[in-house]
Amino acid sequence: MEKRKILCLVCGGEVVYENDAFEATCMMCGKTENTHAICAEGHYVCDACHRKEGVAFIVDYCRRTDSTDPIQIVTEAMSDRSIYANGPEHHTLFGAAIIAAYINAGGLDPEGKPFDKERALEEMERRSMQLPGGTCGLWGVCSAAASVGQAMSILNGSTPMKTTPWAQCQSLTSDVLGKLAQMGGPRCCKRNGYTAVLTAIEHVRDDLGVQLDAPDKVVCTFFPNNKECLRTACPYFPGSSRDAD
């Protein structure tokens, strides 16, 4: 799998974020919409075009894998050229990895029956596609947390009217967000995703009774692609002594 180091998908230049939304036209599909981000050269690529190839790869990969280790799943998936250093395709990946690993580990649906893996991943894709890029900074809610929360809601059958499943989802996402806040910014989809997945593993064990596999220590190999990397301040940076908790 070839790693792709890129910022702007058109020229590779730096992407600039603005506080106020403005209109821009996607260089790939021609759609005009409001955005907060554009490359320094004026190129804009919409979320749909940015993640189209990556999301298709993610869903297919999670459908085919038999791994019960969601960290392994996300790391191998993020090594593919369709997954950029940062971007909304990650919003599908983290939840899909939890779902795939849970089902592969023998986890059952809320009625105690075997899960339809393909159907669960399709639902994960539908929900995650509603999460736009940049929510971590623009909404104050990182979509890595929302992604694993979506996965939990699919696994435990949560709806707005449920009691315990609803609470389990809120507990998971709030736990993730608290850990991310302690680490601080700026954004990094790899750091936030690893944190979200590791936290979800704990909640799946405690709330759903299924133990998913995980490495003793997560070591990131993607840091050369992110110039804003926190390096030794990130718990996943090679040689870092910082605790992910």
pLDDT tens-place string over residues 158-208: 999 999 999 999 999 999 999 999 999 999 999 999 999 999 999 999 999
Of 13-22, 63-72, 104-113, 195-204, which range is least confident? Answer: 13-22
Determine if the pTM surpasses 0.85.
Answer: yes
User: What DSSP designation does 204 have?
Assistant: I
pLDDT of res. 4: 42
Dihedral sign of CA atoms 141, 144, 145, 148 in order:
positive
pLDDT, one tens digit per residue, over 222-237 is: 999 998 999 999 999 9
Task: Flag whether pLDDT at 6 surpasses 60.
Answer: no
Write down the H helix ranges in 18-142. Answer: 47-64, 70-78, 90-104, 117-128, 135-138
DSSP symbol at 31 = -
Percentage of residues in the chain having pLDDT higher than 70 = 97
pLDDT at res. 96: 98
Side-chain half-sphere CA neighbours of 11 within 13 A: 11
Of 169 and 41, the one with more pLDDT: 169
Residue 56: pLDDT above 60?
Answer: yes
Element (H, E) at 191: helix 189-203
- Distance (Å) of CA 137 to CA 15, 23, 37, 69, 221: 14, 19, 12, 29, 24
Parse the chain into domains and list their residue ranges: 48-214
Q: What residue type is assigned to position 208 of the chain?
A: L
